[in-house]
Structure 1
Amino acid sequence: MELNFKKLGSGKPLVILHGLFGSADNWFSIARELQKTFTLYLVDQRNHGDSPHSEEWNYQVMVEDLKELLDDEKLDQVFLMGHSMGGKTAMNFALQYPERVEKLIIADIAPRYYPVHHQTILEGLNAIDLKNTKSRKEADDILSSYVPELGTRQFLLKSLSRDSDGFVWKINLPVITEKINQVGEALAGENQYEGPTLFLAGGNSNYIQQSDLGDMEKFFPKYEVEFISDTGHWLHAEKPEAVVKEIQKFLL
């Protein structure tokens, strides 16, 4: 699949993959600084952003989407970074194509299985009747009954767009709803990525725990972990300067 992406800056290539319900646009807050040092590829994964929709949605097809992008851009080797779902895509890619990844950064996700915990969000998104929704405020009012946190709603509603017929989702909501259990899948197999690997963890997030270190070492023997204090799961949005500092320290 030919993915949509934004290319910025100059220098060694750094490919960044967003998380569930996100898009390439989520990374503009750190792109301004990173583009001074790297050629950034901010990617919309399939069924998200401006990339195509598909009934197929799992980590294997997302890995192959990424390989196709690197091949099309003639990128033999890149720095690769992914957040949450994008981090799982990045980990799987590095295990399957280690020669294509010079260094790997994983933001607030571990190799283990995560149980489905987005049911309420999905209920809220599916409760918005796009055919009869007249404004973004109306959509937000409906979603607020399911998702009380304003910041989370603002993030989710970035995927609400307009066309000539009215509001549409940029995300493939039916497929994501049907196959959400696949997002939490654990890494499998015996492959290892032996290049340098940095796990960035939100200090207030529970996505990376002490019990995850064994799995990190199993798949990524040259790993290290850095915690970004006073941040949750969306650490790059909450503390962009701190995240940029850690990225630069690791890659340069």
Structure 2
Amino acid sequence: MHHVISGQGPVVILIHGLFGDLDNLKALGKELEEQFTVVRIDVLNHGCSPQVASMCYESLADAMAKLIRELDCKEAILIGHSMGGKIAMATALNYPHLVSKLVVADIAPVAYQSRHDKVFAALESMPLNDLKDRRQALAHMQSCGVDDGTAQFLLKSLTRAEQGFSWKMNLEGLKASYADIIDWPTFSGNYQGPCLFVRGGDSDYVTAEHRQAIMIQFPTVKAKTIEGTGHWLHAQKPAIFNRIVKDFITAD
């Protein structure tokens, strides 16, 4: 798995969400690298990481466990947003001895309904070879009904090619794996280590109906809500998000 390492101290691994890459949590990484060894990863099928056929959470947890061992550390703190939060949770549930603390940003350990049909349609219909610039790409996303904030985020994965542009992510692989990405498997045990869930006050990704599923799988959980933020809480109020995360992972 492609990754970038900075800082020194206990290992913290930052895991981005669907359609993202290792730059998504870069601001948090900078905040932490004075006290921690920060590892920002490209999730499989994203950025510069290998393309894979399966993105079920058991296999993604296996890949995370392999990375932790390759980093030659006994255990790591995992911080994940959205899909990255699910990867962090799956790793903590299947490999609890490798995860010292867990932070999950705006996602619950449950299966979700499909909510990215419009995004996939916009990405797949992008005229990559004919694009002249990013402004044209943004106009295409807007014409497909994708809001500006989401469009700007998605276009971070657009990179110049010999002719036109290309996607850094493996779009075909992500679409093929989408059913697994929104699903949540049944895990046999729970994670007893320190655990923090941070949700956006305006987001519908983590609601009261998810409380029981969270408590059963993560019985020591603490929860924080950042008011005035949606699903992209770490980008909308980075100073508050970064402080909440840092306070939690530095506490004894």
Cα offset, 1:27, TM superposition: 1.1
Query: In the alignment, does 2:133 pair up with 1:141?
Result: no
Q: Distance in 2 between matches of 1:36 and 1:16?
A: 15
Cα offset, 1:168, TM superposition: 1.2
Among the aligned pairs, what percent are the same residue? Answer: 36
Q: Distance in 1 between matches of 2:146 and 2:97?
A: 44
- The amino acid of 1:127's aligned partner reads S
Q: Secondary structure at the match of 2:139?
A: helix
Q: Distance in 1 between matches of 2:234 and 2:145?
A: 21
Q: Secondary structure at the match of 2:203?
A: coil
Cα offset, 1:148, TM superposition: 4.1
What is the CA deviation profile of residues 113-160 of structure 1, one whole-angstrom value per residue up to 9, with x for unaligned ones? 111100000000011122222322222221111244222111001111
Contact 1:44 1:50 (C-alpha < 8 Å) held by counterparts: yes
Q: Which residue of 2 aligns with 1:36?
A: 34
Q: Which residue of 1 aligns with 2:197?
A: 199
Q: Distance in 1 between matches of 2:194 and 2:87?
A: 17
Q: Distance in 1 between matches of 2:246 and 2:156?
A: 28
Contact 1:17 1:42 (C-alpha < 8 Å) held by counterparts: yes
What is the CA deviation profile of residues 184-215 of structure 1, one whole-angstrom value per residue up to 9, with x for unaligned ones? 11241331111011000111111111111111
Q: Distance in 2 between matches of 1:147 and 1:158?
A: 18
- The amino acid of 1:203's aligned partner reads G
Cα offset, 1:61, TM superposition: 2.1
Q: Which residue of 2 aligns with 1:121?
A: 119
Q: Secondary structure at the match of 1:50?
A: coil
Which runs of 5 or more residues in structure 1 are unaligned? none
Query: In the alignment, does 2:20 pair up with 1:6?
Result: no
Q: Which residue of 1 aligns with 2:220?
A: 222
TM-score normalized by structure 2? 0.95
Contact 1:198 1:225 (C-alpha < 8 Å) held by counterparts: yes
Q: Secondary structure at the match of 2:23?
A: helix
Contact 2:15 2:43 (C-alpha < 8 Å) held by counterparts: yes
Q: Which residue of 2 aligns with 1:102?
A: 100
Equivalence map 1:52-63=2 (5 Å): 52-63=50-61
Contact 2:53 2:177 (C-alpha < 8 Å) held by counterparts: no
Q: Kindly tell me the number of residue pairs found equivalent between the two proteins.
A: 250
Contact 1:127 1:143 (C-alpha < 8 Å) held by counterparts: no
Q: Distance in 2 between matches of 1:24 and 1:147?
A: 26
160-169 or 75-84, which deviates more: 160-169
TM-score normalized by structure 1? 0.95
Q: Secondary structure at the match of 1:26?
A: coil
Match of 1:238 among 219, 236, 239: 236
- The amino acid of 1:180's aligned partner reads Y
What is the CA deviation profile of residues 56-97 of structure 1, one whole-angstrom value per residue up to 9, with x for unaligned ones? 222222112211211111121011111100111111110100
Q: Distance in 2 between matches of 1:165 and 1:213?
A: 49
Contact 1:147 1:153 (C-alpha < 8 Å) held by counterparts: no
Q: Distance in 2 between matches of 1:183 and 1:146?
A: 23
Q: Secondary structure at the match of 2:159?
A: strand
Contact 2:195 2:218 (C-alpha < 8 Å) held by counterparts: yes
Q: Distance in 2 between matches of 1:8 and 1:209?
A: 35
Cα offset, 1:167, TM superposition: 1.4
Q: Distance in 1 between matches of 2:9 and 2:209?
A: 37
Q: Secondary structure at the match of 1:14?
A: strand
Match of 1:164 among 139, 145, 162: 162
